[in-house]
Amino acid sequence: MESMRIAFVSSSIPRRCGIATFTADVMAAVKAADPTVRCSVVAIDEPNSARAYGPEVKSRIRQREPESYRSAAAMLNESNVDVVNLQHEFGLYGVWKDGVYDDHLRPFLQELTKPLMVTLHSVPPSPSPSMRDAIRLISSRSDEVIVMAHTAARLLVSDYGITKVPIVIPHGMPAIEPTGRHRLKTKLGVEGRAIISTFGLVDPRKGLEFVIGAMPAIVERHPNALYLVVGQTHPELLKQQGEAYRNTLERLAEELGMSDHIGFVNEYLTQRDIVGYLLATDVYVTPYLDPNQITSGTLAYALGAGKAIVSTPYLHAIEALADDRGIIVPFRDAPAITDAVERILGDAELKQRLERRAYAYGRETAWPAVGRRVLALTQHVLEPHRQHDPLVAV
């Protein structure tokens, strides 16, 4: 059988976007599972961008221009691509006008004739009618729909009225060996400190101020505690508001007298950098504010690194941290964060138990395993099409 060709429709590196990073990781994992697979990208560009991509990007979609999505589908129809793999996040494929979602993916779906797989990165509960219609159309036009959590699969049935059974493939993460904490602390210049961390693009939805607010009480019990906020400000927030949110966080740290106990690593990190900070971490905190967040790549990485995790109860965290794999605290509750972090730092047995359970869960969803599952599903999707259309263009 000749090489399989997969076209990924997504934002693409070097765009600083979680979906772009995820797509690059999926592509690498699929190619690791089968080096003969050929992957290309139809990259989604935000308005007025002029980004230099790598050779894997064969064409572009101009975000917020519906006709550009249709043109991309027509191009794919004429290409020798076997399967289209589309990574869906509402903001990449439409805009909201007066509270109604204007779905720009619709013309793409109506035009495309190639086999299609769609991964849903957001499945909000109680969707508006326009958002529900967008997801229903995706379901009806796709050969397979993928979600990253069983909660999302249930929501598609209960809140979207979708009867097609989605495939659950959890968010992947690097295959990490949870060792070297002390060595990496020394490398980062934080030896002897109890490291609490949060990583990822910084924006107000992360709720970082509540961890900062928890730090004075944590430091009172653990004077060596250091909270690291690791990551750049979200590019879209930076365009609209500059560093206003980060400046607010830094001022809060100063006002609380915590400048020696809170550090900001304002850098866009490579995967190796992220893993290094995670392995140096004693307690990982995701204080996110959106209860409907169904996927968190940062939480997936922390599980894969075998971290003791404290999290607010957004959908992904509720599922991933069940069965004593982490500690859930209420939203916007600094004292609860204080209590959870102190429990972990003050109880070595609890800390080790959380780490073991997190790692056992996370290792099952490392990228090599995810790559094999995506590859097998792609082959499954393609098989009936190859049986009926044996002449595939070269």
Does the residue 393 lie in any domain? no
Does the residue 394 lie in any domain? no
232 and 218 fall within a common domain: yes
Does the residue 288 lie in any domain? yes
* 115 preceded by a cis bond (ω within 30 of 0): no
Number of H helices, E strands in the chain: 15, 15
pLDDT category at 394 given cuts 50, 70, 90 is very low
Q: Which residues pair with 118 in a beta bridge?
A: 86, 145
165 and 197 fall within a common domain: no
Could you read off the pLDDT of 37-55 as tens digits, one per residue? 999 999 999 888 878 899 9
137 and 201 fall within a common domain: no
Nearby residues of 314 by Cβ (< 8 Å), 6 or more positions away: 286, 288, 290, 291, 292, 293, 296
pLDDT at 390: 45
Contact 295, 319 (CB under 8 A): no
Gap between the Cα atoms of 175 and 363, Å rounded: 7
Does the residue 74 lie in any domain? yes
Closest to 75 measured CA to CA, from 43, 37, 31, 27: 43
Retrieve residue 336's tokens.
Answer: 């609860």
Distance of CA 177 to CAs 75, 276, 278, 366, Å? 43, 11, 11, 11
Q: Which residue has the higher pLDDT, 2 or 79?
A: 79
193 and 313 fall within a common domain: yes
42 and 65 fall within a common domain: yes
197 and 333 fall within a common domain: yes
Tell me what the mean pLDDT of segment 98-108 comes to: 95
DSSP state of 269: P
Gap between the Cα atoms of 135 and 131, Å rounded: 6
67 and 195 fall within a common domain: no
138 and 219 fall within a common domain: no
Gap between the Cα atoms of 367 and 358, Å rounded: 16
Structurally, the chain folds into a number of domains equal to 2
Does the residue 36 lie in any domain? yes
* Range of 129-138, 262-271, 298-307 with top mean pLDDT: 129-138
Gap between the Cα atoms of 257 and 243, Å rounded: 21
Q: Which residues pair with 184 in a beta bridge?
A: none
Residue keyed to tokens 């990574």: 87
Q: pLDDT > 90: what percent of the chain?
A: 81
Gap between the Cα atoms of 143 and 356, Å rounded: 38
Q: What is the pTM of this model?
A: 0.81
* Residue 336 domain boundaries: 181-365
pLDDT at 365: 85
278 and 337 fall within a common domain: yes
Contact 137, 161 (CB under 8 A): no
Whichever domain contains 242, its CATH number is 3.40.50.2000
Could you read off the pLDDT of 180-191 as tens digits, one per residue? 899 999 999 999
Q: Cα 171 from chain centroid?
A: 7
Nearby residues of 24 by Cβ (< 8 Å), 6 or more positions away: 12, 13
Q: What is the secondary structure of 40-84 as a DSSP string?
A: EEEEEEPTT------TTEEEEEETT-HHHHHHHHHHHHHS---EE
149 and 13 fall within a common domain: yes
Q: Which amino acid is at 355?
A: E
Which of 9-23, 358-372, 376-390 comes out lowest in average pLDDT? Answer: 376-390
217 and 349 fall within a common domain: yes
167 and 51 fall within a common domain: yes
Q: Which residues pair with 283 in a beta bridge?
A: 196, 308
